[in-house]
Structures are given as C-alpha cells and as structure tokens.
Structure 1
Amino acid sequence: MITIKNLCFSYGKTEILTNVSSQFEEGKIYGLLGRNGVGKTTLLSLLAGAREAKEGMILYNNKPLFENQDAISAIGLFYQRNDLDRDMDHSKVEDVFKKAKQFREHFDLDYAYELARKFNLKTSKRMNKLSKGNEAVTQVILGLASRLPVTIFDEVYLGMDAPSRTLFYSELLDEQERFPRVFIVSTHLVSEMEHLFDEVKIIENGQFTLDESYQTAVEKGNTLTGDAEIVSNLTKGLKVIREQVLGTTKAVSVFGELGEHVREQCNTHKIAISQMPLQDLFIALTEERG
C-alpha cells in the first residue's frame, strides 16, 4: 500500500533520513521504534503527506503520495494535542467528532461515542478544558473511528493512564479484526505494546537497522550465558550487541541466526540460550557505544 524508495530528508545541513527503503502492507500493525530525535516523526509526516520527499520516492498504491488526493483521503496522522489545529480549542469534543464525520468518508460517529463512553470521556467538554489524558483519548478515538486505510499514531498515548492505554490496545486489535488496514504506531512503550505488532521497524542513524516481522525480529535476538571462554568462542563472527561478565560467567547478546552448530555446542557445553524481549533488543541495537 505504501512503498518507500531511497528516501532522504534533511533539515538544512542536518541529515535526518538516509536512503531509506521499505514498505507498509495492508492488514498489518507496524511498530515504529527509535530513540528521541532519530527522525520518527519526520518519517511519519512524510508518510502522511504533510511534507514532500525531496530525494527518493514515497508511493501510495504505486503512485506518488505527496499531493495525491487518494492518499490524502486515505491516510490519517494522529498525535499529541499540542499539534492540533488551535481553531478547535473552544470546540466541544462532540463537535470535533461531527466535523470528522463531515470530512472522513468512513468515520463511524456511533463508534466514536461508544468509545467515549468506554474511556469515560465527556463529549460535552471543550477541547481546551480536557486533561492531557483525555486529549490523548480524543485523538485515539478519532484515529480508530475514522477507519482510514492507513492510520498513524505518533505516540498518541502520552498522558493516558494504564487502564486507558490497555483499552486502547484492545480496541486497536478489535478494529484490525473488524476492518483490516495499515496501522503504524510510533512508541517508546515497547514492552507494553509489542504484542500488537505484526512488523517492527527500528530507526537508527537515519536508516532502518531492523525491518522485520515481529516474530523474525525476536527470534534473531538471543543471549548466550555460561562459561566465559566457551561463550566468547561460540559468539566469534556473530553480531554482538551486548556483553556482561560476572566472574567466570559471561552473557553475550547477539543479533542474527545462531545456526545449528552453535546451538548444538551450547547444548553440549551447557550454555543457556534465551530469547531477548523486543524491548531489550531495541535498547541493545540503539544504545550508544564508546
């Protein structure tokens, strides 16, 4: 549905994205991960058509995305309220819902009110009187109820308490089952949200350092723990992303296929192999090294 080819983007002389290529397919939930300042929001604004790709291409259904009316009507970017149109400040939540219904062909107003009840959001309140949590809830409702072919949430959960976030995750999964589409979720709450993802993309140094299905990604992250010398020998030639030593015991985290020989040797020498949670893998792949 969306294809990125050799995308580059800079602010002045500061390069943000470098030769990025990837794709987003219908019916999948994508987790977009990266440390602060690596270009996640820039990429999402490009995907939403809010910025033009000066170098490289972004295609929506095989046609250039920027200023493409089909893409404009199909893609929605939902984010923190400080980026909202200030003309809406004094509008009631219910009026914001009704306006969305006017401009979004598939916006389900009944579902929006149903979600408002579930989140305990008073739709008679004005936008500028909402708490941070309810501002976030309003954006979540707009995103889910719009039923757009491509729905992008850029850390929209910020300000929501744990029960609200849990409800958001549940509704997102239910919506994907009822009305399959592309969901792109940018987040720092990796351990809390990883169960949502079909695909994972990690941005680091202007590129995707990981662009895999969720299952493939976590299967590639493993920690070998045991005798320090044996572990060191077994991990030679592998992509080591973290090491810890305690006396004669060593734990080495690697990214990539271990291979049958390494696994057999681990079994022979009683070296434990444990799969890394996605959050640990994300931290290890993006942490600064001296």
Structure 2
Amino acid sequence: MSTAPMATPVLEFPPTVRPLSADAPMSPDAAVSVRGLARRYGEVRALQDVSFDIAPNTICGLLGANGAGKTTLMSLISGQDRPSAGTLQVFGREPFDDAAVLTQLCFARENQAYPDTFAVRHVLTTCPLFLPHWDADFADELVETFRLPLNHKIRKLSRGQLSAVAIVAGLASRAPLTFLDEPYLGLDPTARRRFYDALLRDYAEHPRTILMSTHLIGEVEGFFEQVLVIDDGRLLVDASAEDIAELAFTVSGPAKAVEAATGDRQVLETHRIGGLASAVVLGTPDAAMHRRAAESGLEIGPVGLQDLIAALGAAPHGTAEARAHDQEATR
C-alpha cells in the first residue's frame, strides 16, 4: 500500500472554514480573541499570523501534527508566554501577568511539573488556592474513578496516573477557560472512556470554554463544536463541526478511474493498494462528480476528521514548533 500526498501550492478552502483576517476587529464577547498572533524563537517562526475567536461555553478542538504549534499557541493564550507580534485577549483582557484573567484559567497536561515532595493529595489541597471555581467533591469523585493513590509521590506515578492527575485538576477546576493538552497520554482505552464521560457530563452541567488538543481525533471528534487546524505554525482551518464535515470527500475505485475523475479537483492525498485507489478530495462532490463516479464504478464517501487532518497536515517532523524548541534547547 502506498500513500501519496499531493503537492498543492495553495489550498482553496471555502469561506466557511477560512481563518479570520488579522485586520478583523477583536470580538469583545469572545472567550478568546486572537489577531495576527506570532511567536518567534530566534530565527524560527513557531506561529505565524494566527487569527480566530472562540465563543464562551464552547468545546474547541485544536488539531495538527506534532510540532505544528498547538502547545505554543496554548502557552500564549494561557499567559505562560508572550507573543512576538499580534493581539490576544482572554475574556476581553490580555492574559499575561493579569491575575484577574489567570485565575479563570486552568492548563492541564500530563507532564505538569510538581515539587518533588508532592503527593497526589497535595495537588488536591493546592489547586483550590489558585483556582476559585474548584469543586472538591468532584475532584474526590474523579480520584476514585481513576483509582489514584492519594499518598503516593507524584514523581513515583506511572504515566497513566500522571495523566489522571492532570484530568482531575483540569475538570475539577471548573475554570471558565480550561486547556486540555493531550491529558490522556498513558491512559488505556477504558480510562480514556471514563475521562470522556466525565468531561461531557460535567460540561453539560457546568458549561465553560474548553480548548483541547488531541491526536486521538476519532475518539473525540463528536465533542467539538469548533475545530482549529494548525500546520507548521499557521492556522489552516477555523470551522464549526458541521462545516468541516463538508470540507472534503473520498473517491474510491480503480486507480486510473479515480485519477481521471479527480484530475480537475484539488486532491489532498491518495492511497493505493494494487490497482485500486482512494483519493481525499477538497470540496464537496457536485453533480458532475457524481455522474463520473456512477459511470466509472467509483464510490464517493465522507472523510473522517482523523483522515482529513492527516491529509491536510505536513510531516510530523521538522515543523516550526519543533525547530523552535530545538533552538531553545541549544542556548
């Protein structure tokens, strides 16, 4: 089986999924409003000209390859880093060094650093000091759900247990803006399902804005009300879940017939097995495409979000964010 990414100089996305212009006015009612955001590390651009809004009480998926810029973007929005250029507002204010904003945020990730002396119980007693919306009863419920050992030192926990600690902190924070940066790493499928169930149940009862990065797109794509796709530091797509479902389609069948039927369309990627092929095609199939498919014995179908992101994204190595972090490490 071979996979052939297509060399497409400019992807012509429909207006419904295109990112905002950097010149668009800031949205005062948005939970997050970003215009022309950029982050440089020396000569490397980790983020370039990123603009979008996230409405309050929305679960937004931040998707892209490793090193595409997702964590850099989250670090900027959460006030952990300053942008090199552009404008950023969280709840109408710049987040960096603003306690009124920062107390409304929670950044949950599996590799969160804690003091060496910290046990799980110390996390539960410390979080309420910084997170005013903390729900101790919900935290206790999650600790029981994930069977976390309260007296075990954080540095002695397994990767799955560290992920569970991050999930407890992120969900029990009930922060108006919660960042979930792949917090499930190390969890088995059963534990991930417990996480998803707890997330959706609590979000329904206590709505807030959640920005979630993930590579397990197939498991969570039904959660997202908004999807941001980032690649090599640039925002490719900003779309509702409904609009992104219409972004591309597949054409499958005999390889020569697939090539002939899609020759005048933007093909993102083609998979080949022997004499058969399946092409991921940008846009929606029109009447002419359906007619060609019927005449040639081809099948037209939807593209899952996981496959769409893979087709849109660049290779996971050598991206802007990865180069930037390498440069920082050598200083």
Same fold (TM over 0.5): yes
What is the CA RMSD across the aligned residues, in angstroms? 2.1
Which of 116, 139, 143 is the aligned partner of 2:166?
A: 139
Structural mapping, 1:171-250, within 5 Å: 171-228=198-255, 230-245=257-272, 249-250=276-277
Superposed CA offset, 1:78-113 (max 9, x none): 1123x4132xx3223222212212221110001100
Partner residue in 2 for 1:128: 155
**Displacement, 1:246?**
5.5
Gaps of 5+ in 1: none
- Secondary structure of 1:63's counterpart equals coil
User: 2 CA distance for matches of 1:128 and 1:227?
Assistant: 54
User: 2 CA distance for matches of 1:177 and 1:105?
Assistant: 20
- Secondary structure of 1:66's counterpart equals coil
Gaps of 5+ in 2: 1-30, 316-331
**Displacement, 1:156?**
1.4
1:156 aligns with 2:183: yes
User: 2 CA distance for matches of 1:135 and 1:119?
Assistant: 11
- Secondary structure of 1:163's counterpart equals helix
- Secondary structure of 2:252's counterpart equals strand
**Displacement, 1:257?**
2.5
Q: Is the 8 A contact 2:49 2:234 kept in 1?
A: yes
User: 1 CA distance for matches of 2:198 and 2:129?
Assistant: 23
Partner residue in 1 for 2:60: 30
What code does the residue aligned with 1:186 have?
Answer: S
**Displacement, 1:233?**
4.0
**Displacement, 1:43?**
0.7
Seen in structure 2, the aligned counterparts of structure 1 residues 239 and 68 have a Cα distance that, compared at 3 Å, is farther
**Displacement, 1:236?**
3.4
- Secondary structure of 1:116's counterpart equals helix
Superposed CA offset, 1:212-260 (max 9, x none): 1223223322111235555334323322111245566443211222234
- Secondary structure of 1:101's counterpart equals helix
Normalised TM-score (structure 2): 0.80
User: 1 CA distance for matches of 2:85 and 2:50?
Assistant: 10
Seen in structure 2, the aligned counterparts of structure 1 residues 228 and 159 have a Cα distance that, compared at 3 Å, is closer
User: 1 CA distance for matches of 2:198 and 2:263?
Assistant: 45
Calculate percent identity across the aligned residue pairs. Answer: 31
Q: Is the 8 A contact 2:59 2:210 kept in 1?
A: yes
What code does the residue aligned with 1:70 have?
Answer: A
Q: Is the 8 A contact 1:169 1:196 kept in 2?
A: no
Partner residue in 2 for 1:266: 293
User: 1 CA distance for matches of 2:314 and 2:303?
Assistant: 15
User: 2 CA distance for matches of 1:226 and 1:38?
Assistant: 33
Partner residue in 2 for 1:283: 310
Q: Structure 1 stretch 258-267 or stretch 39-48: which is displaced more?
A: 258-267
Structure with the bigger percentage of helix: 1
User: 1 CA distance for matches of 2:35 and 2:247?
Assistant: 25
User: 2 CA distance for matches of 1:62 and 1:91?
Assistant: 35
Q: Structure 1 stretch 160-169 or stretch 266-275: which is displaced more?
A: 266-275
**Displacement, 1:146?**
0.5
